[in-house]
Amino acid sequence: MLGELETKPDRVVIADFEAGVGTLLRANAEQVDLAVVVVEPYVKSIEAARRLLEIAGANGIRRSILVANKVRDEEDLALIRALLDGVEPDLVVPADEEIAAADLAGVAPIDRNPESEGVRAIRSLAGTIAG
């Protein structure tokens, strides 16, 4: 369906894919301009991110971003870098109790506290993406 969406000036489409590689495997450059791969500082998550970045590249998606999420400290970042052959995340979202609380409660984190560290980090990404 992504490929069918009409091109409309100034429309930004954000597609939340199903967890894993299934959806991205079927995505190409016509359907996706930017792949945002979200990774946690866990081995399983990093392995999945490695595969997702590979698939995005192999499928011809022209740009991709790695977002390191729920990062507590430098050690967490070092783990991600080490297992991704030195790749530096494009954005680091610090572990944020406010986001965790919002998720528990079922409210949008940006409504609960737009100024919490993690939310500010993601908002900054929006600024860069949209230029």
Site for another protein in 24-63 (CB under 8 A): 24-25, 27, 31-45, 47-49, 51-52, 54, 56-57, 61-63
Considering the rule CB under 8 A, would residue 6 count as an interface residue with another protein? yes
H or E element that contains 36: strand 34-39
Three-state secondary structure along 76-104? Answer: HHHHHHHHCCCCCCCEEEECCHHHHHHHH
Considering the rule CB under 8 A, would residue 82 count as an interface residue with another protein? no
- Indicate which single residue of 82, 84, 86, 103 sits in contact with another protein (rule: CB under 8 A): 103
- Indicate which single residue of 74, 85, 86, 127 sits in contact with another protein (rule: CB under 8 A): 127
Secondary structure of residue 1 in the 3-state scheme:
coil
- Indicate which single residue of 11, 74, 85, 86 sits in contact with another protein (rule: CB under 8 A): 11
> Rounded to whole angstroms, how far apart are CA atoms 98 and 100?
5
- Indicate which single residue of 74, 79, 94, 97 sits in contact with another protein (rule: CB under 8 A): 79
Give the number of other CB atoms < 10 A from CB of residue 118: 22
> Rounded to whole angstroms, how far apart are CA atoms 35 and 131?
16
Considering the rule CB under 8 A, would residue 12 count as an interface residue with another protein? yes
- One-letter amino acid at 63 equals R
Question: What minimum distance in Å lies between the beta carbon of 72 and another protein?
Answer: 9
Q: How many residues bind another protein (CB under 8 A)?
A: 83
